[in-house]
Amino acid sequence: MDRRDFIKTAGLGAFGLGGAAVGTALIRATTTKPSREVVRAKRWAMGIDLRACAQHPGCRKCIDACHAAHNVPSIPEPRHEVKWLWKATYERTFPEQVHEYTTATTREQPVPVLCNHCANAPCARVCPTGATWKRADGIVMMDEHRCIGCRYCMAACPYGARSFNWQDPRPYLHTVTADYPTRAKGVVETCTFCAERLVAGLPPACVEACQAAGFGALLFGDPDEPGAEIGRALRARDALRRSPALGTAPQVFYLV
């Protein structure tokens, strides 16, 4: 039983005993209070500065930081890989942007790809249990304890951004971070824009790693917030989104 179920059951039990007030108090007491930052953000978004990122072609700092922070296993078999953040070529990420005169350098340029946290997320729409859902602040959230492993979300995601645990991932963890749960076999997982760090007022792990290295290729925040860097960048520069014609409205923007 996961915490949400526990809260519900506990709440219902309390009501059953006639203690409505007790139940409410229980739910209040056990629900994580969102930090001010979460409440303030109407919609989280990420900007990926492709020019800045291209300066460091072999760099894996964002990927390593993300996968270490979230206990993402390193599975050698590509068919069974679990990936939250990885790099694909420009050509494969934006096939509609490539034409016959596009240079090989541009085509082969590595581009970080991850869950797009679509405003109109097909994965959340198709999930039969509500294990993946859209939060008010735009994050596509994942409850691995509720997931039945039907993989409908994987079929529905136009970005291939969701991973299924085809096996027990724990033997493939070199180091385990105690701050974040590990997963079991049979469930789907994906990037959550570091919801657990946002609650604590921290930026996502990938953004932090990129900034710490002084590369500044990853921006994060609420574009509608006055003065936010991501909002300024999105208004000043051209930005691409993956497969915009599908109407999913990705919240990951690629600044070109």
Partner 1 sequence: MHTPGLTRPRLYWCAVAALGLLVALGIAAYSRQLASGMQITGLSRDIAWGLYISQFTFLVGVAASAVMVVLPYYLHGFEAFGKLTVIAEFLAVAALLMCLLFVFVDMGRPARVLNVLLNPSPGSLMFWDLLVLAGYLLLNLVLLRTTLVADRYGVPLPAWVRSLVYISIPWAFGIHTVTALLYAGLSAKPAWMTAILAPRFLASAFASGPALLIILALILRWTTRIHVEAIDKLGEIVAYAMTANVLFTALEMFTALYSGIPDEAEHFEYLFVGFLAPWAWASTFLAIVALAILLVPKARRNAMLLAVACLAVVGSVWIDKGLCMIVAGFAPTPLGDVTEYWPTLPEISIAAGIYAAGSLVLLVPGRWVLARREQQ
Residue 191: closest CA among 170, 169, 206, 176: 206
* Of 53-61, 147-155, 206-214, 226-234: span binding partner 1 (CB under 8 A): 147-155
Give 49 or 144: the residue with its C-beta nearer to partner 1.
144
Paired with 255 in beta bridges are 49, 239
> Residue from 126, 173, 234, 239 that binds partner 1 (CB under 8 A)?
126
| Nearer to partner 1 among residue 80 and residue 232 (C-beta) | 80
163 forms beta bridges with: 189
Binding flag, residue 10, partner 1 (CB under 8 A): no
Binding string, residues 227-256; x marks residues near partner 1 by CB under 8 A: ----------------x--xxx--------
The SS3 of residue 151 is coil
- Could you say whether residue 186 binds partner 1 (CB under 8 A)? yes
What is the rounded CA–CA span in Å between residue 217 and residue 59? 11
The HSE-up count of residue 37 (CA atoms within 13 Å, CB side) is 15
Q: Which of 28, 36, 79, 235 is in the footprint of partner 1 by CB under 8 A?
A: 79
Distance CA 252, CA 240 (A): 9
Contacts for 210-214: CB closer than 8 Å, 24+ residues apart: 210/61, 210/62, 212/61, 213/59, 213/61
Among 13, 19, 95, 181, binds partner 1 (CB under 8 A): 95
Stretch near partner 1 under the rule CB under 8 A, chosen from 57-65, 73-81, 207-215, 222-230: 73-81
- Which residue among 125, 135, 170, 241 contacts partner 1 (CB under 8 A)? 125
Instruction: State in Å, rounded, how far the first CA of the chain is from the last one.
Output: 46
Q: Does 129 bind partner 1 (CB under 8 A)?
A: yes
Residue 164 binding partner 1, by CB under 8 A: yes
Residues in contact with 40: Cβ distance below 8 Å, sequence separation at least 6, in sequence order: 222, 225
Give least dist CB 91 to partner 1, A: 8
Binding site for partner 1 (CB under 8 A): 78-81, 88, 92-93, 95, 113, 122, 125-131, 146-152, 154-160, 163-168, 185-188, 243, 246-248
